[in-house]
Amino acid sequence: MTTPRDLVGGAPRTTYTLTFDDRELPAQEGQSVAAVLWSAGIVSWRTTRNGAAPRGVFCGIGQCYDCLVTVNGRPNQRACMVQARPGDTVTTQEGTGRAALDR
């Protein structure tokens, strides 16, 4: 089976790991946090304020805010817009998220 990478002659980029809810996930240089989560088969990583409904990527371009996560202790980060970095700690966001006031 031919893959898109085969068609364009691409090569894998530098790989590293990030942590999502205490689980190490493989990531490639240039991927967004959402792409890393999708690659690991994770499609929901936030719950809504009212009703705790599951959410993940909806628009994929940073307009809808359905993909909010907490990255390195900072809540309300759009997973589709934040580039994954080596050693990042990403956690599921519940409702509006929480942040320490001293940051």
101: pLDDT strictly greater than 60: no
Domain locations in the chain?
15-89
Burial (CB count within 10 angstroms: exposed 0-12, middle 13-18, buried 19+), residue 30: exposed
> What CA–CA distance (Å, rounded) separates 40 from 61?
20
Share of the chain above pLDDT 90, in %: 52
- Residue that wins the pLDDT comparison between 45 and 18: 18
Q: Residues 48-93: pLDDT tens digits? A: 888 888 888 888 888 888 899 999 999 999 999 999 999 999 999 8
pLDDT for 39-60, tens place per residue? 999 999 888 888 888 888 888 8
Fold of 15-89: Ubiquitin-like (UB roll) (3.10.20)
